[in-house]
Amino acid sequence: MSDLFDKIVSLSKRRGFIFQSSEIYGGLAATYDYGPLGVELKRNVTQRWWNSMVYQHHNVSGLDAAIMMHPTTWKASGHVDAFNDPLIDDKTSKKRYRADQLIEEYVERLRRKGKEEKADAVYERLVEALNADDMAGALYALIMEEEIRSPDSGVFDWTEVRQFNLMFDTHVGPVSNGENKIYLRPETAQGIFVNFHNVRETGRHQVPFGIAQIGKAFRNEIVARQFIFRMREFEQMEMQYFVKPGTQMEAFESWREKRMQWHIDNGVRPSKLRWHEHEKLAHYADAAFDIQYEFPIGWQEIEGIHSRTDFDLKAHQEHSGKKMEYFDPQTNEKYLPYVVETSAGLDRTVLTLLCEAYREEELDGDTRTLMKFHPKLAPITVALFPLVKKDGMPEIAHSIEEGLKEHFNAFYDEKGAIGRRYRRMDEVGTPFCITVDGESLEDQSVTIRDRDTMNQDRIPIDNVRTYLFDKIAGWKAE
Ligand code: ATP
């Protein structure tokens, strides 16, 4: 991992954003807990997403479906038969890799060495292998021919490539036999499809309309070594938009634009975001683009926008025997709607924001670390400091805090030198610090310090709230 990534991981732990799960027992691989600041950041992200997807669209309703679903759901969706990753083991180190990612990394290494032509040729063969009937065999052959070595041990000592199903299973009820096996959902989307009619009818929707949901998903990922980028338990923010067949590309383009703008409005610099078109379409898709962010570990997917055709509704209709068709009252036609999906990772969005916000600045021979979160998303919006713990200053600071709490997450701190208190807030990304000093008692005004510029404004206490609202509205990512 890069130095920068290590610093972000370490700050996340030190300041209470993200902890390793069950740390006192040595941790559980690829699972993480969100600490007091992490949970605030995550909540702010989900609120922005919900607001932009559900409240801003009169024809999108929310849903919160169960994690456990009838097992036939996953037969119908194709996950039982095809939700596999190609797995390969380094026999020397016993480390496990995804064969396709191993080849992708090899292609990247070739590019870094300036061997563009060779890289293009290998990449082309990778795409062919991913589309081959015997995908595992084709990937294995490519690894053998190119003599791709293990990234960790450096040796060339591989097992065959095997297909590995990523779903976690468990059993319902006291008896464990094959018949009561169920799965932890590997995506939230299927909970939406099976509720298509329930939401349409109760929401009195006509096609086109959408169903949005935020929730946990579980995948038994083969390689999970990149902090919260790839976890075995994670959260998705998904929306399925049902349209008349033939109109899906219009909806696809429109949602593509909106979703990219959403990430930019989170304060992510446009230069750090790009589109990636899928070379190999999933069995259900007729178009698929990912939004990628330039993490310190390279360009990686944070959200997928997929045109899923009528694959899912048709499959659930076949497997359940229940009609999933829509009757269009305007044209008197009956059809299975097509679906455009926007599927964002909540944790990957949080990681994007952590990476995007992390800055180091040289200041008086010292390094100032700051998290430049968008003020709308920052875990703490405003901190209240009495300059000293006496002469009525704590009381004034507390009374301002009370007035702000209704609108913002406000944090009170009276301990330590004021400079140190500012630095602590910089490090967790608090955009505004308000200091109450001796003069505040006389002139009813306070100093507001800006995290990004470190400028200080003197403001009458009565104007503090409006000042903060204006500053937040005018904030721009740099
Ligand atoms: P990848 O290729 O990185 O495995 P994917 O294409 O399988 O991802 P999707 O099935 O399209 O991912 O899931 C939608 C979103 O869910 C992804 O864009 C990502 O943000 C998030 N996501 C998927 N798998 C994980 C994971 N293991 N940990 C964290 N987030 C994930």
Tens digit of pLDDT for each residue in 391-428?
Answer: 999 999 999 999 999 999 999 999 999 999 999 999 99
Cβ of 219 closer than 6 Å to ligand 1, yes or no, is yes
d(CA 96, CA 114): 28
Cβ of 238 closer than 6 Å to ligand 1, yes or no, is no
Higher confidence at residue 213 or residue 171? 213
Ligand 1 atom with the smallest distance to the CA of 221 is 27
How many alpha carbons fall within 13 Å on the CB side of residue 37?
23
420 C-alpha to center of ligand 1: Å?
A: 39
d(CA 86, CA 65): 30
Q: Which CA distances in Å does 170 have to 219, 259, 405? A: 13, 35, 44
Ligand 1 atom with the smallest distance to the CA of 303 is 18
- The residue among 105, 137, 111, 142 whose CA lies nearest residue 126 is 142
- Ligand 1 test: best mutation among 218, 234, 256, 278, most atoms within 8 Å of CB? 234
Mean local confidence (pLDDT), 367-382: 97
Main-chain dihedrals φ then ψ at residue 357, nearest 5 degrees? -80, -25
User: Which amino acid belongs to residue 200?
Assistant: R
Main-chain dihedrals φ then ψ at residue 215, nearest 5 degrees? -175, 175
Q: Whose CA is nearest to atom 11 of ligand 1?
A: 304
Residue 1 has pLDDT above 70, yes or no: no
Q: Whose CA is nearest to atom 14 of ligand 1?
A: 343
Q: Whose CA is nearest to atom 9 of ligand 1?
A: 304
Interacting residues of 335 by C-beta distance below 8 A, sequence separation 6+? 244, 245, 325, 326, 328
Mean local confidence (pLDDT), 310-339: 96
d(CA 282, CA 415): 56
Segment 248-302, tens digit of pLDDT = 999 999 999 999 999 999 999 999 999 999 877 776 778 999 999 999 999 999 9
Q: Whose CA is nearest to atom 10 of ligand 1?
A: 187
- Ligand 1 test: best mutation among 77, 213, 236, 256, most atoms within 8 Å of CB? 236
Report field, pTM of the whole predicted structure over 0.75? yes
392 C-alpha to center of ligand 1: Å?
A: 53
Q: Which CA distances in Å does 15 have to 379, 424, 455? A: 11, 9, 24
Cβ of 348 closer than 6 Å to ligand 1, yes or no, is yes
Cβ of 191 closer than 6 Å to ligand 1, yes or no, is no
Percent of the residues in the chain that have a pLDDT greater than 90, as a whole number: 87
Cβ of 302 closer than 6 Å to ligand 1, yes or no, is yes
Helix, coil or strand: residue 135: helix
Cβ of 190 closer than 6 Å to ligand 1, yes or no, is no
Cβ of 343 closer than 6 Å to ligand 1, yes or no, is yes
Query: What integer pLDDT is reported at residue 222 of this predicted model?
Result: 83
